[in-house]
Structure 1
């Protein structure tokens, strides 16, 4: 070896190093390894199973959310119905109270007329 390498020598040695590295990588090519295919299939199967579990969780979460929304809607409708029933009952009680008050006023007026004029004799 010379004490001073020329540019051409350095380029040549770099090309040889790259070629050696490429040959080592090709020697370790996983596609030629029979265990690699089995490991790859196992990874693919695990990924599919994981995707299926995730999809099932998403479906379950969505179903729970829909059920919760339906429950909220049902509670709200029941609350509205109860409120409407309460308002109807209060209105009916108010009407009944007015009717009783009106009946009391009429009865008082009748009593006053009866006290004033009494019962008339038939002619």
Structure 2
């Protein structure tokens, strides 16, 4: 059974040709690149792109400045920690040197006392 609105090949071909013609007419009536309205739109897009690039450059500069500040703070903290460690090491070394000098002094005092007792004993024997 045939449908009453069944298109024949010629009708379908004619409809396709009409559609192509309408599409070409649509593109032919489109504004050209030299059209002032198109130039305004292009200029507006270029201004938006330039503003976006400027914002991106500013954001990158701020990030670089912040990272530089963080690096400087880290370097300062590291230097302070190293100075603190050096001061602690010097204090430990001074304490060790003091302990060593007291031990040497005590040893010298013991030796002097021993020598004095030995000399006293020898003096009594003579």
Tell me whether 1:71 sits opposite 2:73 in the alignment: yes
Q: Secondary structure at the match of 1:31?
A: coil
Partner of 2:88: 86
Q: Distance in 1 between matches of 2:57 and 2:43?
A: 21
Q: TM-score, normalised by structure 1?
A: 0.75
User: Equivalents in 1 of 2:59, 2:7: separation in Å?
Assistant: 66
2:26 to 21, 24, 45: 24
Question: May I ask how many residue pairs the two structures share in their alignment?
Answer: 117
- 1:37-48 paired onto structure 2 within 5 Å: 37-48=39-50
After TM superposition, the runs of 4+ consecutive aligned structure 1 residues lying more than 4 A away are none
Structure 1 residue ranges without an equivalent (≥5): none
Q: Is the CA contact 2:31–2:38 (under 8 Å) kept in the aligned structure 1?
A: no
Indicate the RMSD between aligned Cα atoms, in angstroms: 2.5
Q: Per-residue deviation at 1:18?
A: 2.0
| Cross-structure match for 1:6 | 8
Q: What does 1:41-120 align with in structure 2 at a 5 Å threshold? A: 41-114=43-116, 117=119
- Give the TM-score normalised by the residue count of structure 2: 0.73
Distance in 1 (CA, whole Å) between partners of 2:21 and 2:34 is 20
Unpaired runs of 5+ residues, structure 2, are none
